[in-house]
Structure 1
């Protein structure tokens, strides 16, 4: 029965989803930043269109989010002149990793979608089924969500995991097994930095974690997990956080990006260090662009604040010690069941959960991709 269920069309996952808000592949970084702010989207699809042909074919070639912009502006070569960096082509921000965004027809099987994700796809671009009248409406503006006379939506790893959770009983008893017995704990591909490291040292790891849809763990001297620098949290910040990344330690950055706004002492510390390091252009840039002193606009509120911490699922320390802070890490244990970890990740809108020992020592990470491998293997055994 599970096999027939996964033979259903991937369009079932598109019901109620909004149309993708597109951005041209020929745009600049500044135009991408403006669109992200104006449209209020977590990410935008980047489209390459060939209007020289009769069929005007368009294709989504990637996606862009605020974290991409922040990491780009935080590069050493761009700190001296952030205004000039904003005029760079958007193509410089797209990961040089093929297959992160893939197109799939709405009548494709859900199994096909799972296989594409296991091959490395982050997002699947699916045409939204529409009435004939709507299908042939002409685009009204550059920001129209229509391409190839169709509207598209994202299908993500989260969408598929949520779908599988709704029919979890069909895979029994596998979901009830501890994750340590299912070979889903990845103890090799862990991105981690020390609490006292410079925040700039985390930049390459933030970029890699964004591609892998994970996060950067923050550990103490004993290897215990005290928090994280999450792309999801950075994505709710604006570009002025670049100054904090350039000047603060990892621990201070965690406090800086926690929802509620950075403390005044950290704001002043960032200003002082920008001046000490002759980052005058960066200081002027952030002063002009919503002002470093405007702490309320740095970070939007997080739904994670309604959840507890400790053995119920969150670890945090030092500046991350208060309940609901965005730098806290969602954790599980080797003896946690697969279904419990799935629910935990979905509840916090994350695509991963850290795995720790009882004393908080970081031992690995469980991702949606690893979970999907388990379900795919289970289907193979049932065939």
Structure 2
């Protein structure tokens, strides 16, 4: 915004200090003058007091000294106010410099304002925290964009290869080519929809309404029951009524992703998935726990990053696009909740989503 130039804050503070000092000095001199008048009576008209000063004599002696005192206070107030305002506003100059650097794209710069806590230091600490979060988000977006570009390029490259092979061999049967192209196209559509859902959750562009997480968990369980039976996984749902506030569609997608992940990454043939809901102090909790191999903590820490698929970048009909838990984390954050991943006591993974209670 283009604003007209005005007085600097330092000059305004200087004038304020000097003005306040002048007013205080004037009040002090007026108090002294009133006090002195009580002891110097004014002679009646037509009479002369042979001894002692009169009010006129006092006025002649007091005014020059008062003028000198006020002049000194004015000069002292301007100089002292200018120095004092400069010292007080020095942290603001560092904050302004850091703001300009951030506006130019330098998010790695920090203010690191020393000293004890006051208003300026609280502002500087908050600004440093904001810069750190912006820098982390920028790095995450760049990494996500690179991964998304790679993932989207893969089905396009496969499609191009299949078309080139078909063009070079016209006699080849088209049924196999059609099947592969449909599979690649379906995967590209799935990835695109997952990216759109992730963007929607990050932007919080949804209407909040009361949602019972226990009913959402039951609906997701019924939807994925055929997939669980295919993998030989038993699902169990239990818990209390869990009233939350949010988007029913997004919360259902979050729960579905959790159950899908728990089914696919499980022991084939004899695995289990346990889904529970509970109400704690000020929050509702959804827990999904599955059986499986033991997971290292450093691996668990990366599972919510986009395009991470368990222990390896597997490719199968149920592998997904590597955005399942990333979408879960984004939906939980969009609902002011938290996502916690811990290894199960006997292997597998225990995932807990905690949302504010309505």
The TM-score with structure 2 as length reference comes to 0.22
Relative to its length, the structure with more helix (as a share) is: 2
> Which of the two has higher C-alpha Rg?
2
Higher normalized contact order (CA 8 Å, seq sep 6+, divided by chain length): 1
The TM-score with structure 1 as length reference comes to 0.21
